[in-house]
Amino acid sequence: MTLAVTLVQDLTAAGFVALGLAIAYRWYRERGRAQGKLALGLIALGVVAALGRLPSSLLLSVIVIVGFMLSGFFVLLFRNEFIPLGRTAYRAAYALLGFAILVGVFDAVALQHASPLVTSAAAFVLISTWAIFTGEPIVRFWLSSNVLPAVQKARMRFLSLGFAVLIAILFVDVLGGGALQSPAALIVTQLLALAVVPLIYVSFAPPPLLRRIWRMSEENELRSAMQDLLIFSPDRQDLADRAVFWAVRLLGATSGFIADSNGKVIASVGIDADRAAKLISNHAEASAQVVQAPLHMAEGEGSLAVVGGRFTPLFGSDEISQLRAYANSVSAGLERARVTERLAAIEEHKTQFLNLASHELRGPVTVIRGYVSMLEGGLLGNLNERGRTAAGVMAAKVSEMNELIEEMIEAARLEEGGLTLRTVEADLRDIAQSAASTVAPLIEPQHRMVMDLPERRVRVNVDPDRTRTIIANLLSNAIKYSPAGGEIICQVRARAGVARVAVTDQGLGIAREDLPTLFTRFGRVITPQTEHLKGTGLGLFLGRQLARMQGGDITVASVEGKGSTFTLQLPVALVAESASAGLLETPMSDGELRTDERPSATRARR
């Protein structure tokens, strides 16, 4: 049993020596002032533990007593780095240190043969003084940790718990007297003292796994905050404000701010912009108070700065590393917001341009259209054959320009939310025929238009004018993108509550990878075969939006080099039960446009 006691005592001494060496090494690497004070205290404690295993002598006893008292006093000085002592308390601490050392030295020199009561009293003075030096800081650390992030809280509490166990062991050892001198009691107290070593060590250098475990309670909240920052923040300013708030919370700091590459403060929490600007300009002051992480932005390198709290320099080292990783996400978020705002501004400028250009063009085009009509009607004199041909071409081009202007006006209204529909019940056949009449001047001799219409009405609740615009645009596109000519079929059908207008051409067709571009605003598919064709890319965008506003849609099926089919789908109008579905619907096989097999269809060739 004696051998076991000796072994445990040696292990405990070795543990505290190793703790002192480890802390000394970290102090050597980081050279922090606060860490240096605690390192001195733990080194002194390790020296005391090592010397305590040597044969006793008067000099050795004095060195152990002085080292033991200094180990506690350095812990108080460590506390002073975070929460400064008042001048009176500081002087009292030095006086108490001197008094305790005198008592200890006197006990070692003059009271070697004194009664156990006197010896115990002297030991009680020494332990009480050491408990005051270490107990007051650990209580403050424990209480202060309540408002800190998880890792800082755990580190401070592990340090507090370690010293609390040492204080408890020392008091029990002194007050217990001979009752605790049995081998079993010695082994238990030594093992408890040995357990203090990892408690104190992890407060300085917790391994990554332990940090991850401590952080688990905050992981979901931080992940949610990151999602909120990077996805849901509506604009750059709001994102910057939230980013600073979470940075301060992440570090357990008092305040923080974000500055751009020019040093201008764009967001702050807990600190006014003037104070933040002074910290940026005064690098000496900032280096002592501010933890900064770079923000890599398009306009240059900004910074996410957090004004550290009392315990940040030492206990917040893990959070400082997190802050730098967090700053990278904030940089990405700010860039995303900047790009989004820029795109929004571009879209707004596009809409403004559409409004301005379309309204400014409408006046001159109206005048030109009037004079061309007068020329065609002979009101300005008789024209020869060539003049009448030229007037017809001018009329077609003016009509084309007028349609373009109307598209621009409609697109601008749509973007501004000012586009309204005047829905009435109408026959989709009539609307399709009217649209075909509109584009008739555009038909070239090599084209042949076929109107495939059912005999019965196809009732729809739509805005006739805008639906006519949609179909006319599909027909004009079919003509435009069939430069070699061919048949253009406009088929109207209704089935299963859905009315369809399918426009099929035998033209250039569209590659599969280009299909997503068709219905975007200003989206045009440019190929060597189509680059000479004029257009704004508004027609299909506007057509689909108008169709969707009426409860329908536009779809496309195309094979490159063989032609395309654009289909306008609209809901049929609700009618009385007596008008059975058969009166409104004509069977149609999806994708089939066999005009030669429909004897009931009305065909119109232009």
Considering only CA atoms, which of 162, 133, 140 is closest in space to residue 70?
133
Tell me the chain's radius of gyration from C-alpha atoms.
44
pLDDT of 250 reads 74
Q: Tell me the domain boundaries of the chain.
A: 2-206, 216-340, 353-415, 421-597
Global pTM value: 0.53
Domain at 421-597, CATH from 3.30.70.20, 3.30.70.260, 1.10.357.10, 3.30.565.10: 3.30.565.10
pLDDT of 596 reads 37
CA 187/CA 189 separation, integer angstroms: 6
Buried b (16+ CB within 10 A) or exposed e, 216-238: eeeeeebeebbeebbeebeebee
CA 146/CA 157 separation, integer angstroms: 10
pLDDT along the chain (606 residues), means of 10: 80 86 81 81 87 83 90 90 87 93 85 74 89 91 84 87 88 66 80 88 83 75 70 74 80 79 82 79 58 78 79 68 77 75 69 65 78 80 82 80 73 69 91 90 85 92 91 90 88 92 91 83 70 69 89 92 92 61 37 35 37
pLDDT of 453 reads 93
pLDDT of 587 reads 36
Which amino acid is located at 366 in the chain?
Answer: T
pLDDT of 354 reads 63
CA 488/CA 452 separation, integer angstroms: 10
Contact status, residue 173 vs residue 9, Cβ threshold 8 Å = no
Considering only CA atoms, which of 58, 52, 1, 47 is closest in space to residue 20?
47
Considering only CA atoms, which of 560, 525, 527, 564 is closest in space to residue 541?
525
CB burial class (10 A; 0-12, 13-18, 19+) of residue 124? Answer: middle
pLDDT of 579 reads 42
Facing residues of 424 across strands? Answer: 462
Q: What are the backbone angles phi and psi of residue 24, rounded to the nearest 5°?
A: -60, -40
pLDDT of 316 reads 65
Q: CATH assignment of 216-340?
A: 3.30.450.40
